[in-house]
Amino acid sequence: MKRRDFLKKSIGATVASGTFLSLGGMNSAFGAGGFFAAPVDLVAVKGGGPEVMFDRAIAELGGMKAFVKAGQTVLVKPNIGWDAAPERAANTNPLLVGKIVEHCKNAGAKRVIVFDNTCDEWTRCYKNSGIEAAVKSAGGEMVTGKDEKMYREVTVPKGKVLKTTKVHQAYLDSDVIINVPVMKNHGGATMTLSMKNLMGVVWDRGFWHRNDLHQCIADFATFKKPTLNVIDAFNVMKRNGPRGVSVDDVVNMKYLILTPDMVAADTAAVKVFGIEPSAVKHIGLAEQLGVGTTKLDNLNIKRITI
């Protein structure tokens, strides 16, 4: 099937042309033309390369120095779960990850750590995703997610199903957490987005799959929220996720979403993907637990087309 035909069948004309303008949200505290601009809650960028879109988006949120202070340790948590080349879109785009690390270092971060508890063999995932090279080139450091000694048992006080779990020390000890999922189809969780991406910081993911995956995703989202969520929707796996089969599963959508609110991020992302938030059960469950909001009309959303 030609990519043009696949795009039409997978996304549809509404998503391809109109979703970006229908995310909801206000332009300012008093609407367009009001007396002062309200702080931006969410930035949605369309049409550029991963690095260019991030540069524009983070500037709208006050720059990386609004999130990272000099001397801090930062964890950048992409999806690196699969031994797959970047064009497969199984992992976060390496150009985006490298750009985020660069911004953190320029903001004065003492350390910028990157890791994932991978599904495939971790050294191959790190290398073949392109993320390891991008991180090191930008001055960051890769650590393994496959050493159980690096995980500590924690309690999840608001968890309904997930009461305790082992969490990687980098997630527990970092001053700043930047969560960078790739947006893609997922056979079990419906979608991989901000909250689902945090499964990569825990040791026993099998418990989640055996015991109400959506509720466990929502439960863990209450434990320690990322400072910033950056959803990579440059190349998007529309089917056969989370591993994907080939580049035929992928559509070049050229979107980026930034916000501190995981629920808002995931709500906006599913709309861009072309489904309703109610189709991704853990989004509503997380809102019920107070993680964030699905009510995008109440947010000040900055839209940028490049």
The pLDDT, as a whole number, for residue 161 is 98
The pLDDT, as a whole number, for residue 1 is 42
Q: What is the pLDDT along the chain (306 residues), one digit of tens a residue?
A: 443 343 333 333 333 434 554 566 655 334 444 455 679 999 999 999 999 999 999 999 999 999 999 999 999 999 999 999 999 999 999 999 999 999 999 999 999 999 999 999 999 999 999 999 999 999 999 999 999 999 999 999 999 999 999 999 999 999 999 999 999 999 899 999 999 999 999 999 999 999 999 999 999 999 999 999 999 999 999 999 898 989 999 999 999 999 999 999 999 999 999 999 999 999 999 999 999 999 999 999 999 999
The pLDDT, as a whole number, for residue 24 is 64
Provide the 8-state DSSP code for 252.
E
| Backbone angles phi and psi of 254, in degrees to 5 | 55, 55
State how far Cα 149 lies from the chain centre: 26
The pLDDT, as a whole number, for residue 10 is 37
Bridge partners, residue 190, by sequence: 186
Task: Write the CA distances from 211 to 168, 215, 289, integer angstroms.
Answer: 21, 8, 18
Helix axes 281-288, 213-221, angle to 10 degrees: 40
Q: Domains in the chain and their CATH numbers?
A: 3-305 (3.40.50.11440)
Instruction: Write out the two tokens for 66.
Output: 């609004």
Residue 13 three-state SS: helix
Contact 64, 77 (CB under 8 A): no
| DSSP secondary structure letters along 15-75 | HHHTGGG-S--BSSTTSTT-SSPPPP-EEEEESS-HHHHHHHHHHHTT-GGGT--TT-EEE
Cis peptide before 226 (omega within 30 of 0): no
E runs forming strands in the chain: 42-46, 73-78, 111-114, 141-142, 151-155, 164-168, 176-180, 182-186, 190-192, 228-237, 250-259, 301-305
For the whole model, what pTM was predicted?
0.90
Contact 134, 95 (CB under 8 A): yes
Distance CA 222, CA 224 (A): 6
The pLDDT, as a whole number, for residue 38 is 77
